[in-house]
Amino acid sequence: MSRALTFYEFFAGGGMARLGLGAGWRCLFANDFDPVKAQTYRANFEDAADHFHQGDVWALSPADLPGAPDLAWASSPCQDFSLAGARAGLTGGRSSAFFGFWRLMEGLEREGRAPRAIVIENVSGLLTSHGGRDFEALCEALAALGYRFGALEIDAAGFLPQSRPRVFVIAARAAPPAGLAGPSGYHTRAVREAHGRLPEALQARWVWWALEAPPARNTDLATLLEPDAPWHPPAKTAALLDLMAPMHRARVEAARSRPDHAVGAVFRRMRIEHGQRVQRAEVRFDGLAGCLRTPRGGSSRQTLLIAGGGQVRSRLLTAREAARLMGLPDSYALPGGLHAGLHVAGDGVAVPVVRWLAAHILEPLLRAPAALAAE
């Protein structure tokens, strides 16, 4: 039996990357700054006391990180990923969370313990922020430590009934074995354009990771709903409908006239209309939830709309439903309270996407004969 692959999980949240990697992996170290997420991680992993560290990544040193991992996974905060404007963090001072992580990778490199592979997961805007300079800075950092790298843009909608596009930058010390490099539907236009903006020296280290799409999913939003969640009073539903522009209101009326029931997902957004900022409610009935977010107020919480048989009802998405939309099992212990549960679920990585990457790229890459011979 082959040994378990080892990993670090930075910005671990509730441990969703760990769950996606699965039983064939062993966590050597995990960290998160957020106390609610840290509590949730500890509640779900019995061995958390052995390896989980709650605190700022900038307070860590390589001495806090045990062993030489096969993989370092980093889902750094999306609002903090400004690399091009944060290079002072490499030499001192407070900078982005990513550079707090990267400082540790550089320290491990000096000690001969750098991970054989790194995955950096973030929002799709990473590819274009600051005109592509942030992404170029990331690639420069990876190249400076001897990594080859490439990016995939994966929407969790291929795996779960949630629209959640994310970028996964996969970096490896060794050249990919045959079959891991080639065409992929996840080489989106944004990925290709990001690659095209890189200097030739960085393009020379690029890997077009080959990743096929999963089988068609057999679930939609309606299949994940809890049956006994409380509904809004009719007046609140009416107020929500009043926030809809004509196109979205027409969608609701079409669903209301159906003999069966349609489940829609609603977000409230600010739109510019006739030069004025206007709050609008926007609905989709395509079987997908919108991208989950961390709840910073009522407008960021996703609302469900069920229409049919001449009626329309609405309610908030529950924390358990949000967890299901991230691929978490019902046995996963959520923190108490709607806000805390949505906070953990909405700021995580979709578990089945991690599993797909692990099965089709990370495990074949790290278990390849050439990679094992280099250990």
Contact present, 156 and 291 (Cβ < 8 Å): no
User: What is the side-by-side order of every strand in the sheet holding 52-54?
Assistant: 52-54, 25-32, 5-10, 71-74, 117-123, 165-172, 148-155
Q: Return the sign of the alpha-carbon dihedral for residues 351, 353, 359, 365.
A: negative
Task: Report the alpha-carbon distance of residue 16 to residue 41 in Å, rounded.
Answer: 9
DSSP state of 87: G
Contact present, 143 and 198 (Cβ < 8 Å): no
CB atoms within 10 A of CB 130: 13
Q: Return the sign of the alpha-carbon dihedral for residues 51, 55, 56, 60.
A: negative
What are the beta bridge partners of residue 265? 284, 304
Tell me which residues are annotated as active site: 78
- How would you classify residue 69: left for phi > 0, otherwise alpha for psi between -120 and 50, otherwise beta? beta
Task: Report the alpha-carbon distance of residue 69 to residue 216 in Å, rounded.
Answer: 34
What are the beta bridge partners of residue 31? 53
> Among residues 98, 158, 159, 94, which one has the least CA distance to residue 129?
98
Task: Report the alpha-carbon distance of residue 18 to residue 365 in Å, rounded.
Answer: 18
